[in-house]
Structures are given as C-alpha cells and as structure tokens.
Amino acid sequence: MLLYYKDVTPDDVAIVSPMDLGGLRSDEYLAVNPQGKMPALACRDEDELVPESDTIARFLGGKFDSGGAFAPPAGSTLALKADRLARHHDIYLAPIQGCLYKASPAGQAYGAFPTRAAALDEFQAQLQLIERYADAGGPYLCGPEPSQADCALFPTLIFAADMLPKFGREFTVGPITKKWFEMLKTSDPIGRRIYEEVHGALEGWAAKGRWDTIHGAGLRDAEATLFDKIVSGDIPSEKVYEDDLCLAFKDVAPCAPVHILLIPKHRNDLSQLRKAQPEHVGVLGHLMAKAGAVAEAAGLDDYRVVVNDGEGAGQTVFHLHVHIIGGRELSWPPG
C-alpha cells in the first residue's frame, strides 16, 4: 500500500512472492527473514536484509520521500500518531491474527490465548481501541495525509471484516475508524485498489472452500447443546464450580452419591473427545487439572473420572464432558 502511495515502480522495488523463493520455510527465504514470516525486504544498494513491516515501511517511507506523512521527523506529533497506531497493529493485533485463519494450531499460536474464542474476543477488543488513537478530523488515520498507520491497519481490517463473520462475530469498530475504513474502501483510489486485491483474494479462497476446513470456525458443527444452554443459564443447573474455561454441576440423574459433570464453557467444536485438536490441548488439560479439586471440594477421597466417547460408550450429550463419580464402592472393570 505504501509502495502504491509513493508510486514506487518495479524497477525500484520488486515484489516477489515467498513461493518464488521456495516458500516461507525455505532456506532461501529464511536467509532474508529468519522468522519465516512476511514481509521481508532485501536491499540491493545497502546490502541489508530487513524483516518486519514497520521497519520496512519507515525505511521505504524515508527512501522514497523527502518528508511528509510517511517520513515525519522524529519527535513530531505526526510521527507520534503514526508510530502509535502502527505499533498498536504490530503488537496487539498481528500476533493474534492467526485466530482468523489458522486451522488448528498448537500451543501458543494465538498469542497467549488458550482458545480461538478467547483470541477472537481480544482481537475484537483491540480493533475497538484503534478509535482512541485515530484522528477525528481524518480523512486518514493520522490526519490529512496517508501514513504508515493506514498502510499497517487497512489490509488487516479488510481481512478482519471478511473473516470475523465466518466465526459468528461482528466486525465492529468505532465511528471514526469506520468512517476512515469506508473512505479508503470506496473513495481513495489506492485504498480501493488494496481493497480489491485483498478482498478479491479472500473471495477467491472462499470460492475454493479454503475456509471450510478451519476447525472451529463459528459453531457450524451443531446447534447449541444442552450443556451450552446450561452455561448460558437457559437451563438451570446446580453449579459446584466455575471459572473462565469450565463449569462443574451436579448430574441430574446421578449414578452414585456424588456425580458431577465438568464441561468446557466454550465447546469450540469439541463435541466429543475424538474431535480434540491441538487448539483444545489447553482446555483439556484444564479440565483434568480441575477434576481433582472439584472431587476434593465434593468431599471425595476416591473417585472415578470418566469420558464417554460415542453413543456405543454411553455418550448422550455431544458437548465434551467429564463425569466425576464417587461416594460408593466403584467396581472394576466398569460395565
């Protein structure tokens, strides 16, 4: 986007897909950006390799301009505004953006968030915060001229606007941000060009079914389960424990003096144990870690923890749950 604003020609900067270098994990690409992430810039004249869009934008902004919004003098208000928004993008939005497209990442792939739902909540909250730093006078994020803040945030917001609804989420930003987004999308020639490129690519991928395989995209797998309704309070229950991730309540048809069900609050496609994906590792570990504390709080010394997986094994509610059973002699093998 910055290159378009500056009318930089392919003679000055050649845009090359990482695929032409063998992909993001190829030795050739990793030699340019050891993080294996886009973008990266290789400078012929300076003999320098530059990762990180913020650094690249500042460098190109200065190199192809004698001043203005892309290379504001250090210490100026414009530099402050543009830096603040570009950093907001790089620090608070970009690291969790994977929750909008990654299929089933392991571990900390959504930043510090254990589930896609939690990362999406945070992503939506950070989108709202753009409003706090945006220039109310516009038309660009930092005032009358486009800056690196527009270039960092606009493509990400196009992506967010397209992808959030696929997870049953609304793309909501503050009124100044919305006005700016619509202005770039509809009446700024470079903004329109970027919108067509990004949105067009996303539509092309959608047509090829690329997003259909994203595990946990929305609640496509099923309608609200009985246990979703217990979590929302639509169906009453006798709660015995609750935290951000899980809920424990008494089984309505106990098979022992103590019979408690422990469930993830956000089902996130985890209808049964066999559906477990790397992104569920955090919540599954949490259930196991809490089962003992719930049993202890119920006064149990010895108890059994059971997960029925599949109808033939007795599963009747397809929202993963752990039975905590005790208070009587428990025979083995179980029936």
Q: Does 251 bind ligand AMP (CB under 6 A)?
A: yes
| Closest-CA residue to 146 (of 88, 69, 90) | 69
Q: Does 224 bind ligand AMP (CB under 6 A)?
A: no
Among 16, 252, 289, 297, binds ligand AMP (CB under 6 A): 252
Nearest approach in angstroms of CB 117 to ligand AMP is 22
Q: Does 222 bind ligand AMP (CB under 6 A)?
A: no
Q: Which stretch binds ligand AMP (CB under 6 A): 60-68, 174-182, 202-210, 250-258?
A: 250-258
Place of tokens 């208070």: 327
Nearest approach in angstroms of CB 167 to ligand AMP is 26
Q: Which stretch binds ligand AMP (CB under 6 A): 131-139, 149-157, 191-199, 247-255?
A: 247-255
Q: Does 226 bind ligand AMP (CB under 6 A)?
A: yes
Secondary element (H or E) of residue 240:
strand 239-242
286 is catalytic: no
Structure tokens at 249: 């309540």
Crossing angle of helices 148-163 and 53-63, in 10° steps, is 140
Nearest approach in angstroms of CB 327 to ligand AMP is 15
Q: Does 91 bind ligand AMP (CB under 6 A)?
A: no
CB 165 within 8 A of CB 122: no
List Cα–Cα distances, 107 to 110, 116, 130, 278, 281, in angstroms.
8, 11, 28, 7, 8
Q: Does 253 bind ligand AMP (CB under 6 A)?
A: yes
Cis peptide leading into residue 114 (ω within 30°): no
Nearest approach in angstroms of CB 322 to ligand AMP is 9
The residue among 75 and 312 lying less far from ligand AMP, judged by its C-beta, is 312
In sequence order, the β-bridge partners of residue 323 are 261, 306
Nearest approach in angstroms of CB 303 to ligand AMP is 15
| Closest-CA residue to 239 (of 224, 227, 257, 256) | 227
Catalytic pick among 259, 266, 321, 323? 321
List Cα–Cα distances, 224 to 211, 235, 272, 318, in angstroms.
22, 12, 14, 10
Q: How many residues are present in the chain?
A: 335
CB 147 within 8 A of CB 69: yes
Q: Which stretch binds ligand AMP (CB under 6 A): 148-156, 196-204, 279-287, 314-322?
A: 314-322
Cite the active site residues.
321
Q: Where do contacts with ligand AMP occur on this chain (CB under 6 A)?
A: 226, 235, 237, 251-253, 261, 308, 314-317
